[in-house]
Each structure stands twice: as structure tokens, then as C-alpha cells.
């Protein structure tokens, strides 16, 4: 067995303690890669249905409701992993509400941007999954340490920006309206780090299956992937908006 989980992940849901303290379970009740793929697909379908609804019934309140509801569902999932089969679909519904309305706002200002962002998000995911399975990218300890540190730094910037927003301010590079080269470069960097977090997610999921953790962890692993994909999609939207602003 490879020592995936002895190392780090930038994903708050899939860290080195996520799959610890499990006793061996029967073969029929063990997590599998195929099971995780199926749960991820189901979660994405739920998210897309919810997003489609909020897109067609646009309301900015959906962004607030989705953000708060998604945070609550995420916290319950992280601390009560055995409930993941119930909380992850709820998380997908709330995040879908948020993403649908957020995407509508971007699409209204930048026609065509949402389809581009969706294509790029899943294109990046597919490319990195191929690179991981073919060992083109090998998540070594130094690789994981670097992604962990970079993700932590980005999270700190997000936190500062969130706090500043209470006083009507914010960090300028976070704004989609800032089309400076530095701001665009920052978005490229964040997208690279978010993308590489997918590699760490794949690695943790593979290790979890090898460790024969309970089957409900398939839902939890799907939850971890959702977090990274949602982050990646939002950052791609922000970058595309900046690029369009720069061309105009």
C-alpha cells in the first residue's frame, strides 16, 4: 500500500485525519473507487438540477441561502462523516442554489462565460485525472507540502478579503473588475493551485479505498471533490471575467 495519507492535502474535507480510526469492515461494506465515482456523479447531478432551478428563478437571496446552508451542511459532514450519505446531497442542493444565481450574474455581464467555465472545469479535472492515473504527476511529499502551503496562503487572503467586505472594502486582485496583469496573474495562480488540489483528492480517495474504510466514506470522498470543483469553477469564472474586461 502506498503511503498517501501520511502526507498533506489542501482540501479541508480530505486531510490526513479523514480516514483514520476505522476498523476493518466486510467486503460488501467497503469503500471502492467505482462507488466513489458513482456518488460523485450523483452529487453533481443534484448540484446541476439545483443550479438550473436558481438560474431560471434568479434571486440574489439564493447566493446567501446557498452559502450559509452549504456551510452548515459541510460542517456537519466533516464532523459526522457517517451522515455523509444524507448531508452531501443537501450540500449539493445548497451549493447549486448559490452557483446557479452566481453564474446568472456573470452570464448577464459576460455572455457565454458560464459555458466556458464549465467546460474548462471538467476539462481540467479530466486532464489531471489522466495525468494522475498515468503517473505523469506524482504527488510526492514535497509536492503535497507545496500545495498545502499555497492553499493555506490563498485561504488567508480569502479570509482577509471577507473581513474587509464588512467595511465595504476588499482586496483588489479578488475583484472580477480588476483586469490588471497582476490581478489576472493572481487568478491564474489560484486556478493552478485549485487544480492541483484535485490531484491530492484523487490520491486520498485511492488510499481510502486501499484502507478498506466503510462504504459511507464514498459519499464523504465525493464531498471532498465537490469542494475543490466548486472552488475551481468560481475561480475560472473570475479569471474569464477579468480577461474579458481587459479586452474591452
Exposure letters 164-200 (e unless 16+ CB within 10 A, then b): eeeeeebbebbebebbeeebbebbeebbebbbbbbbb
- Where are the chain's structural domains? 28-247
Interval 44-103: pLDDT, tens? 999 999 999 999 999 999 999 999 999 999 999 999 999 999 999 999 999 999 999 999
Interval 201-218: pLDDT, tens? 999 888 888 888 899 999
Cell triple for 233: 469553477
Question: For 159, how many CA atoms within 13 A lie in the half-sphere containing its CB?
Answer: 6
Using N-to-C axis directions, what is the helix angle for 113-133 and 84-109, rounded to 10°? 130
For the chain, what percent of residues have pLDDT higher than 70?
A: 89
Q: Return d(Cα 220, Cα 89) in angstroms, integer.
A: 11
- What pTM was computed for the model? 0.89
Q: How many CB atoms neighbour CB 96 within 10 A?
A: 27
Which residues have C-beta within 8 Å of that of residue 15, sequence separation ≥ 6? Answer: 8, 9
- Render 18-82 in DSSP notation, one character per residue: TT-S-----GGGB--HHHHHHHHHHHHHHHHHHHHHHHHT--HHHHHHHHHHHHHHHHHHHH-GG
CA-derived radius of gyration, the chain: 18
Q: Return d(Cα 178, Cα 238) in angstroms, integer.
A: 10
User: What pLDDT score was predicted for residue 6?
Assistant: 47
Amino acid at each position: 500500500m502506498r503511503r498517501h495519507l501520511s502526507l498533506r492535502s489542501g482540501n479541508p474535507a480530505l486531510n490526513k485525519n479523514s480516514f483514520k480510526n476505522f476498523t476493518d469492515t466486510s467486503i460488501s461494506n467497503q469503500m471502492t473507487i467505482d462507488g466513489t465515482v458513482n456518488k460523485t456523479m450523483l452529487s453533481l447531478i443534484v448540484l446541476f438540477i439545483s443550479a438550473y432551478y436558481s438560474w431560471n428563478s434568479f434571486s440574489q437571496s439564493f447566493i446567501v441561502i446557498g452559502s450559509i446552508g452549504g456551510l452548515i451542511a459541510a460542517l456537519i459532514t466533516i464532523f459526522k462523516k457517517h451522515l455523509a450519505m444524507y448531508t452531501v446531497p443537501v450540500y449539493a442542493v445548497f451549493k447549486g442554489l448559490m452557483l446557479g444565481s452566481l453564474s446568472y450574474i456573470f452570464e448577464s455581464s459576460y455572455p457565454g462565460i458560464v459555458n466556458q467555465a464549465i467546460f474548462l472545469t471538467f476539462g481540467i479535472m479530466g486532464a489531471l485525472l489522466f495525468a494522475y492515473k498515468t503517473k505523469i504527476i506524482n504527488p510526492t511529499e514535497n509536492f503535497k507540502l507545496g500545495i498545502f502551503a499555497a492553499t493555506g496562503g490563498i485561504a488567508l487572503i480569502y479570509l482577509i478579503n471577507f473581513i474587509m467586505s464588512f467595511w465595504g472594502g476588499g482586496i483588489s486582485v479578488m475583484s472580477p473588475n480588476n483586469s490588471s496583469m497582476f490581478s489576472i496573474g493572481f487568478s491564474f495562480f489560484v486556478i493552478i493551485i485549485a487544480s492541483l488540489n484535485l490531484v491530492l483528492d484523487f490520491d486520498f480517495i485511492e488510499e481510502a479505498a486501499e484502507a478498506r474504510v466503510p462504504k459511507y466514506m464514498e459519499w464523504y470522498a465525493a464531498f471532498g471533490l465537490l469542494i475543490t470543483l466548486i472552488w475551481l469553477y468560481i475561480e475560472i469564472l473570475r479569471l474569464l471575467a477579468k480577461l474579458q474586461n481587459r479586452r474591452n
